[in-house]
Structure 1
Amino acid sequence: MLDFDAAQARLAARAQAPAEHETVTLDALLGRVLAHDLVANLDLPPADNSAMDGYALRAADAAVAGATLPVQQRCFAGQTPDPLRPGQAIRLFTGSLIPAGADTVVMQENCQEGDAGVTFASAVQPGRHIRRQGEDMRHGHVIVRRGTRLRPGHIAVLAAQGYAQAPVFRHLRVGILTTGDELVAPGQTLPAAAIYNSNAPMLASLCQGLHTAPAVLRHARDDAQAIEQAITELSGTCDLVLSVGGASVGEKDLVKPAIESLGGTLDLWRVRMKPGKPVALADLNDRPIVCLPGNPVSAFVVFALLVSPLIRGLQGCGQVLPPVRRGILRTDRPLGGDRDDFVRIQAAAQDDGLPVLTPHVQQSSGALSSLAWADGLARIPAGTTLQSGAEVGWYGLADWLG
């Protein structure tokens, strides 16, 4: 069996960014991966402006408390103020341009306007409450880098710089193959000894959460020819193929032999992790195929920790491995074994210190309900036994699946 870290690194290294990209409008950029660096088209702010509702003046004209200055002009955001005359003030609002000659802004709460002008409660200091030209972004500087998955904040930056569209890598197309005579699609009548196929919709939604194109779903019965046909189709039309089940050592584990019979090469098989040991990485038609365990809990964990970095790399993301956080284990029994054990947990933030990680009461690979409950996976290293209070690494599902 391959160590978990080595397996994770090998899958991540298999990824290559797409050669092609497309230009997409702002309203369709969310979740896409930027194909080229983008630079600022202008300084932001484009000119000095007021950070407050208040009055612009020369600080020297109100250097003592109680000074009163006549109000020369009222200037709203979007209007151009006249140059400030000595000994006067200009009423401004948040975002108003700073008039030539002014060196400070006094917020309206610290002054009082009357018939004689505006009176300042305290001595005025220069340089207050002014947003300087270019202090946020400078013309020509890179504002979003290639390989960035675009979030709402990035889109706001692009819009503020006048970008109506941006170049992004094309959508990744993922094929999902489930196998097994016992599987029935949800919504159909369930015969005796059959179970509903939860893997297909689960994996499709996991891919959707990573902003791939809609997944291509296929199901094959436990028949070598049917499995070969499905693998041939998916590997010919998709960038990545995920197969579920059929990659272990049982009599009906036909996926691995099917890949090999089609000329595929196996890069790794079986990983020292729990759940998820029977996982394989293969290559067919220059496309990666990841064979996931048939158990839905195991498939979920393997997808989160091994497949999601591969997907991010194939999408062109510059950062494929999200952070591994630290937390304090709270458990009523020792945890550990001969494989890296990824325990389904909920993380509770503390006022000070690391979050507390509480394992689900059922850690068997058959406890499907634990996936809806958990918000993370705590790693218990192979060969260790950990008690309550131990500090461990944990993988936030929001980090790894978003």
Structure 2
Amino acid sequence: MKRLLNVEEAQARILALAAPLAPENTPFVEALDRYLSQDITALRDQPAAALSAMDGYAIRFEDLPGPWSITGEVAAGTMPTRTLSAGEAMRIFTGAMLPGGADTVVVQEDVAAAGAALVLTGDGPAARGKHVRARAGDFAAGARLLAAGTRLTPGAIAAAIMAGAPAAPVRRRPRVAILATGDELVPPGHPLGVGQIPDSNGAMLAAMLQDEAAEVSLPLHARDDRAVIGDVLRELSRHHDIIVTIGGASVGDHDHIQDAIADAGGSVDFWKVAMRPGKPLIAGTIGTAALLGLPGNPASAFVTATLFLLPLVRHLAGARAPLPLIRQAPLAAPLAAGGERRDYLRASLDASGLTPLASQDSGQTVPLAQANALVIREARAPARAPGERADYIAIA
């Protein structure tokens, strides 16, 4: 019997199906969750000059404890009008440039002003440079702030803008088509005939991709007909970077995905992975489009999408680290010994630790709704006791 690929081998081969997409520039207000196509290097110092961090008075530290003569004021966005001499202070506001000669700010709560005279009433600053944001204290011109492949979070967007970048250099969003197959499937909300079920997988996968850097076509449906599926796959490959099929990935009389891929001019790179749920996974290409054939059971579709589809989308979008992050937490309940394949068990994670859910039936959706983690149990792993640490992937 041919050895099944392990998960890591399958992930590597899937990511090798296609290269990251072409770079483009996009406005920062549209760049959330996109991936940088190049490093962000600072074009300026931030701050560009020493600034006050508080409302108060700019002084020379050696002039403490005062008194001082007030010589003017400076607000954010304006230039100081003069350099401070010994015994002088200048009214200053948060974000304003320190005047020449000043090296410290005394906060307004620690002083009292009477006309042009200023006296200390509190403790005053304890060290030179107190309440001052030093020039280049955030970053200096020429510093690499964000590496290519970084996901643009709100904070990363702020840093890139402050660095002087005029727009976000990112990679094009992958275009993803979701195709559910099966005569038993009915769109959500439609009346059900005998033996039919609502198509939950299409909307589930679309929801999983909602926070990714992807353009997702509305979930499509094709009946269990090889010629129909082949025609649909051929057309989808002309306009999409990734095609995801759901169902029909096994070897039953109504499982047509592998044959339909060939009919559409594509090829299968591999079939089946040593994991549970999700063993009958198909990976291949049609033209320039990568194709993933996911199993039809909801838990199988969810787990394989987590391990393979999301990483592929992130890879094409330019992610430096596209694979799911594996964490550890203590078990809050016993974990039975593993079988012949690696398991990804739906589990709940709370302050007490990880609790695998009672039902691991891949056809059930309620355990998916209750789970916020996938516990990883290796093949033939020994039983584990509560308190022992286990690997998991966060899913909510």
Contact 2:261 2:267 in 1 (8 A): yes
Look up the SS of the partner of 2:386 in the other structure. Answer: coil
User: What are the equivalent positions in structure 2 for 1:177-326 lying under 5 Å apart?
Assistant: 177-326=179-328
1:80 aligns with 2:75: no
Matching residue's letter, 2:16:
A
Aligned length: 389
TM-score norm. by structure 2 comes to 0.92
Matching residue's letter, 1:8:
Q
Matching residue's letter, 1:9:
A
Residue 114 of structure 1: how far off its partner (Å) = 4.3
Distance 2:310 2:33 in 1: 14
Contact 1:344 1:360 in 2 (8 A): yes
Contact 2:17 2:284 in 1 (8 A): no
Distance 1:221 1:295 in 2: 17
Residue 75 of structure 1: how far off its partner (Å) = 2.2
Q: What does residue 394 of structure 2 align with? A: 396
Contact 1:328 1:357 in 2 (8 A): yes
Residue 312 of structure 1: how far off its partner (Å) = 0.8
Distance 2:321 2:36 in 1: 12
What's the CA shift string for 1:277-309, capped at 9, x where partnerless? 111111221322111000111101100012211
Please say which of residues 358-367 and 378-387 is displaced more in the overlay: 358-367
Contact 2:174 2:215 in 1 (8 A): yes
Look up the SS of the partner of 2:44 in the other structure. Answer: coil
Distance 1:395 1:191 in 2: 37
Q: Over aligned residues, Cα RMSD in angstroms?
A: 2.0
Please say which of residues 325-334 and 272-281 is displaced more in the overlay: 325-334
User: What are the equivalent positions in structure 2 for 1:1-400 lying under 5 Å apart?
Assistant: 1-18=4-21, 20-62=22-64, 67-81=66-80, 82-114=82-114, 116-119=117-120, 121-122=122-123, 125-332=127-334, 334=336, 336-349=338-351, 356-384=353-381, 385-398=383-396
Contact 1:12 1:320 in 2 (8 A): no
Q: Percent identity?
A: 39
1:34/1:347 CA distance change after superposition, 3 Å: same
TM-score norm. by structure 1 comes to 0.90
Look up the SS of the partner of 2:62 in the other structure. Answer: helix
Contact 1:22 1:169 in 2 (8 A): yes
Contact 1:15 1:311 in 2 (8 A): no
Residue 348 of structure 1: how far off its partner (Å) = 2.0
Residue 359 of structure 1: how far off its partner (Å) = 2.1
Matching residue's letter, 1:118:
V
Look up the SS of the partner of 2:393 in the other structure. Answer: strand
Please say which of residues 117-126 and 389-398 is displaced more in the overlay: 117-126
Look up the SS of the partner of 1:14 in the other structure. Answer: coil
In the alignment, structure 1 segments of 5+ residues that lack a partner are: 350-354
Matching residue's letter, 2:227:
Q
1:171/1:114 CA distance change after superposition, 3 Å: same
Distance 2:313 2:6 in 1: 20
Look up the SS of the partner of 1:55 in the other structure. Answer: strand
Residue 190 of structure 1: how far off its partner (Å) = 0.9
Q: What does residue 352 of structure 1 align with? A: none
What's the CA shift string for 1:256-280, capped at 9, x where partnerless? 1221344432222111111111111
What's the CA shift string for 1:102-147, capped at 9, x where partnerless? 1222233444444541215447532222111112122233333322
Contact 2:37 2:169 in 1 (8 A): yes
Contact 1:282 1:290 in 2 (8 A): yes
Contact 1:181 1:222 in 2 (8 A): yes
Residue 335 of structure 1: how far off its partner (Å) = 5.1
Distance 2:112 2:339 in 1: 72
Look up the SS of the partner of 2:299 in the other structure. Answer: helix
Distance 2:219 2:118 in 1: 73
Distance 1:28 1:263 in 2: 36
Matching residue's letter, 2:388:
A
Distance 1:99 1:397 in 2: 52
Distance 1:207 1:15 in 2: 18
Distance 2:106 2:348 in 1: 49
Distance 2:321 2:16 in 1: 12
Distance 2:385 2:258 in 1: 39
Contact 1:71 1:118 in 2 (8 A): no
Residue 346 of structure 1: how far off its partner (Å) = 2.2
Distance 2:296 2:152 in 1: 33
Residue 213 of structure 1: how far off its partner (Å) = 0.7
Distance 1:113 1:348 in 2: 55
Look up the SS of the partner of 1:84 in the other structure. Answer: coil
